[in-house]
Structure 1
Amino acid sequence: MRKAEVTRNTTETKIHLQLTIDGTGQQSIKTGVGFLDHMLELFVRHGRFDLTLVCDGDTEVDAHHTTEDVAIAIGRAFSESLGERRGIKRYGSMLLPMDEALVMTAIDISGRGMAVVELAIPSEKIGQQFDTELVEEFFIAFARELGATIHLHQIAGKNSHHIVEACFKGFARALGEAVAINQAAPDEIPSTKGTIQ
């Protein structure tokens, strides 16, 4: 099974997680930021990953360090689980509606980490702790750590919660597709270069 265990400790956050890529959507997530927990629970369920994660972060300051460092740790776990990327489909995409919101997500596990995030989220905060600008920070950190190109483009939406939820659900579905094993070429690295780095 493709799985990883990651511990990441800094002066700002202490994170421990266990990830299984080929899971069923089981989760136990405690970041100290309620909205982030909610988004990660959706991510795990819709990607059908299994994730146990605990983060002790400096949420008395704000949710920035926790959000970014959690993304780094999860991205690292995916990277370690995938190894040399042998057999994966590599690409995934999803056009996901969430009530009035519609978000397009696409991913290429290319070895080159970057995120293009084009969202027009109306409110500056969701809940007590979560600054909506942290959505972009999450996906930038995840992309860099995994070595993937991620695109998130909002097509429609007025409700901030719905827009962000569409991002995490759509990303989960696209990532689930990208990490799936290509049954036609289960032993091949999906690159003409012969490597994904």
Structure 2
Amino acid sequence: MTRRATIVRKTSETSVNLTVDLDGTGTGRIATGVGFLDHMLDLLARHSGMDLTVEATGDTHIDFHHTTEDIGIALGQAVRQALGDMRGINRYADICMPMDETLTRVALDISGRPFLVWRTEFPAAKVGEFDTELVREFFQGFAINAAVTLHVETLYGANAHHIAESCFKGLARVLRTALAVDPRAANQIPSTKGSLGG
């Protein structure tokens, strides 16, 4: 079974063409027009093991909000589509992700029930030209559209870049584990209900 999906999202504000291969090698081909977001998505691909291609244009002359949010939405939709009926996946994962002085805890349930708990604050409003509040917008768009339960809590940290990076790397690593197929239960849906979602 090929766990791969492409999402094309076009609005009056953005154009996003995104492809994900859940069983890839961690290759990222990223061009969003937002340098910091490119960096975060590249490390998301690398540490999750997914192949991720993103081509996006947007109203970045205004700010980076719509581009960041819509890429999160498209990635969530692509992951959900690529998962199919979620048969055989580990489903759950959590990690405490260190990044120098920062430690962020990320926990994931590929439940079919979208929910984000966000307990991360940034000591600076921007990293370069990127508004740090947009990190939450990306995670919100992803969690709701992937239909996952996602908890992100930064326990401590002093550098805004490191905090953002620990969040994205943490997401990458929990995806790597939760999306993986357990060979002992490859034909089973990991729920006593017999289905995931709702």
Give the C-alpha shift of residue 150 in structure 1: 0.4
Distance 2:24 2:93 in 1: 18
After superposition, the C-alpha distances for 1:24-73 in whole angstroms (9 at most, x for unaligned) are: 11111011111001000010000011011100111111111001100010
2:104 corresponds to? 103
After superposition, the C-alpha distances for 1:82-107 in whole angstroms (9 at most, x for unaligned) are: 01111111101111100000000000
Distance 2:192 2:125 in 1: 43
Distance 2:25 2:104 in 1: 24
Within the alignment, does 1:194 sit opposite 2:188 as a pair? no
The one-letter code matched in structure 1 to 2:157 is G
Give the C-alpha shift of residue 120 in structure 1: 2.0
**Structure 1 segments of 4 or more deviating over 4 A?**
none
The one-letter code matched in structure 1 to 2:187 is D
Distance 1:179 1:106 in 2: 13
Where in structure 1 are there 5+ consecutive unaligned residues?
Answer: none
2:167 corresponds to? 167
Give the C-alpha shift of residue 5 in structure 1: 1.1
Identity of aligned residues (%): 51
Q: TM-score, normalised by structure 2?
A: 0.97
Distance 2:110 2:117 in 1: 14
Q: TM-score, normalised by structure 1?
A: 0.98
1:29 corresponds to? 30
Where in structure 2 are there 5+ consecutive unaligned residues?
Answer: none
The one-letter code matched in structure 1 to 2:189 is I
Q: Trace 1:43-62 onto structure 2 (pairs within 5 A).
A: 43-62=44-63
Distance 1:179 1:102 in 2: 23
1:15 corresponds to? 16
